[in-house]
Chains A and B, each alone.
Chain A
Amino acid sequence: MFEAVLLTVITAATPLLIAALGELVVERSGVLNLGVEGMMIMGAVVGFAIANLTGSGALGVIAAIGAGMAMSALFGFLVLVLVANQVATGLALTILGLGLSGMIGEAFIGVPGLRLPELYIPGLSDIPFIGPVFFQQDAIVYLGFALVIAVTYVLFRTRAGLILRSVGDNHGSAHALGYSVIKIRFMAVLFGGACAGLAGAYMSLAYTPQWVENMTAGRGWIALALVVFASWLPLRVVIGAYLFGAVSVLNLHAQALGLGIPSQFLSSLPYIATIAVLVLISANRRLTLVNTPACLGKPFVPDR
């Protein structure tokens, strides 16, 4: 029983984890991309469509990553090159993504989906309890684990990570030192788009292998909240993602138990929990101020 619950928690947490990690890198570079939901839903629909047309889950995942990156490139062009308002542009990205995905996906409603195969890690998957939970998953779950390690390492142990963080904390100084703020931010934005696209692919190819309009249901927004919750530290994103994964599967399990709580109340729990967590974190000024990228959301126009 516990094993089964844990399995659903991992499945629910994975898209949140991946999307939030991507956004964390974006925000560390000083850019606030509120369009995670839009990039994610595009990843979901494109991933589903390509996997369905080609019969290959891997191609679907790659296409989803591409779709997320294309969306983020649009965002990057507007906020980095044209210095458009980041909040409004992020919203535009979400509105466009929801519309475009609905249009693309119309042909795929009710079409049976393709589920990514589980990859058993030899040796490790045979360990009782831990094996089935952690080592009999699909490739994206493993990729999520790998991303946590990679992002932590690159951000805090490499020169590239130091430069990225310096751009996010003080773009003026980084520019004076000769770093191309715009280029670095653009790459961070693209990485965020790739992660959101991948998270979307997980939604439509593993979480519920089908296309339903609006199927991300606010997960992109929750991923944004997770970055704040994690105070911009990748390892805390893991904790947050699993916490929220657990809250969102509560609905499933509570209904199986036959508790007399209306399903709508349980469905609203992840959103209410997000608000509660945001309040708790933001009320603690010490925690938020230490890691918040100082230039987050501020536009930069280089003087040449």
Chain B
Amino acid sequence: MRIELVKRKEHSEVMVFLSPVIAVLLTALTAGIIFALSGLNPFEALYKFFIDPLTQTWSLEDTIAAATPLVLIACGLAVCYLSNNWNIGAEGQFVVGALFGSFLPVMLPGFESFLTLPLMLVCGMIGGALWALIPAFLKTRFNTNEILTSLMLVYVASLLLDYLVRGPWRDPDGFNFPESRIFSDAATLPSIPGTSISMATVITIGIALVLTVILTKTLKGFEIRVMGQSPRAGSFAGFSSKRLSLFAFGLSGALAGLAGIMVVSGEMNQLQPTISPGYGFTAIIVAFLGRLNPVGIIVAGFVLALSYIGGEGVQSAMGVSDKIASVIQGLLLFFVLACDTLILYRIRFSSRRAPASAEVSHV
């Protein structure tokens, strides 16, 4: 038996939405098998992993809190990937954004005003954008592969954070722990009064909605799409691929940086040697699972956030390694990419070599 791909006449709109659903189901199935192989009841483990976090208020809040940075970063990455700019260094942009944003509360702790927080958020965006513009500049100016440079900068950013919290930014009253001083109240991102939903979530949803409008209703959105699908056609329309690269990287860096400073200011309240459980990389999965579409990304971000919270859940309840979360994340991306084949192709299983027919693709 052989597998043949038969090109569809048009790409399947149904599969665009169905593919991530199939992928999630296949991931759950595979996760069940992994649980069973580890000697656990797969149904109980899957329930603990995917459903249990949704049943209690605190775990639901945790899930939303973890989904927030994922969605914000993935929104920026979607703009990059749609326009064929492979920014995979969001993790580094997240860290540098957090560093820029933390400059005020760490170096000028006495500056407490209503301006503190907005300034921090703006600094965070600037920091993330600058860090992302390095690979973009190298790509546009020297034709350097942005995949490798943006990734290398992740390592540089984490080492920079490590240096700062162990060296110049260490809390002078912190008994030599590698941590910055605790942020003042004026530098802490609040929750919506009366609820425990962070302002970060509100800001993120707002940005996702604005981005939806930009992508679907404006010329810029059209430019992003055209340059991703056919740069040649785009250049006839007068779009510049170099300027778009700088725009896409700058925007995604700014959003990753904003996510960074919002996590540090809203959740951790200080800088520590590690400030992200891999949000920048998980957001890549979120972007693809969400169809590179901000609304889809909100849903996908929630699904991936479940894997963090569910991972902790199965670890504490059933003694499985919490590394299962990143295994499941990796599997999910694999299945999404595999299922996306169905958007452009039909799969035909044939027992013998089929004669070439008109519907078989000609490349």
Contacts and interface: CB of A to CB of B under 8 A. Distances in A.
Contacts, number: 149
A74 B148 CA distance: 22
A102 B326 contact: yes
Interface in A32-76: 34, 74
Contact of A99 (B147, B329, B338): B329
Interface in B123-141: 138
Interface in B312-347: 321, 323-331, 333-334, 337-338, 340-341, 344-345
Nearest to B355: A304
B5 to A, nearest CB: 6
B155 A268 contact: yes
B191 interface: no
Nearest to A79: B337
B147 A87 contact: yes
Contacts of B148: 221, 224-225, 228, 274-275, 278
A114 B125 CA distance: 47
A275 B152 contact: yes
Contacts of B247: none
A262 B167 contact: yes
A178 to B, nearest CB: 15
Contacts of A257: none
Interface in B265-286: 281, 284-285
A161 interface: no
Contact of B147 (A34, A93, A265): A34
A225 B155 CA distance: 15
A304 B323 contact: no
Given A221-B148, A262-B167, A268-B156, A84 B338 contact: yes
B14 interface: no
A97 B330 CA distance: 8
Interface in A252-272: 262, 264-265, 267-268, 271-272
Most buried by A among B148, B160, B324: B148
B288 A88 contact: yes
B145 interface: yes
Interface in B340-363: 340-341, 344-345, 353-354, 356, 360-363
A285 B333 contact: no
Contacts of A221: 148, 151-152
Q: How large is the interface on B (under 10, 10 to 19, 20 to 34, 35 or more residues)?
A: 35 or more
Q: How large is the interface on A (under 10, 10 to 19, 20 to 34, 35 or more residues)?
A: 35 or more
B4 interface: yes
B248 to A, nearest CB: 15
Contact of B155 (A271, A300, A302): A271
Contact of A304 (B285, B326, B328, B354): B354
Given A87-B86, A99-B330, A302-B363, A278 B144 contact: yes
A34 B323 CA distance: 22
Contacts of B156: 268, 271-272
A278 B149 CA distance: 8
Contacts of A83: 5, 341, 344-345
A223 to B, nearest CB: 11
Nearest to B285: A95
Interface of B: 3-5, 7, 86, 88, 138, 142-145, 147-149, 151-153, 155-156, 159-160, 162-163, 166-167, 281, 284-285, 288, 321, 323-331, 333-334, 337-338, 340-341, 344-345, 353-354, 356, 360-363
For the complex of A and B, 3 pairs with smallest distance between CB atoms: A96-B330, A99-B326, A103-B323
21 contacts: A78-B337, A83-B344, A84-B337, A88-B333, A95-B285, A95-B329, A98-B326, A99-B326, A100-B327, A102-B326, A103-B323, A217-B155, A224-B148, A225-B152, A268-B159, A272-B152, A275-B149, A278-B144, A302-B363, A303-B360, A304-B354
Given A93-B330, A100-B327, A265-B159, 20 more contacts: A78-B334, A83-B5, A83-B344, A92-B285, A92-B330, A97-B330, A102-B323, A103-B321, A103-B324, A172-B363, A264-B160, A264-B162, A264-B166, A267-B159, A268-B159, A275-B153, A282-B145, A283-B142, A288-B143, A304-B356
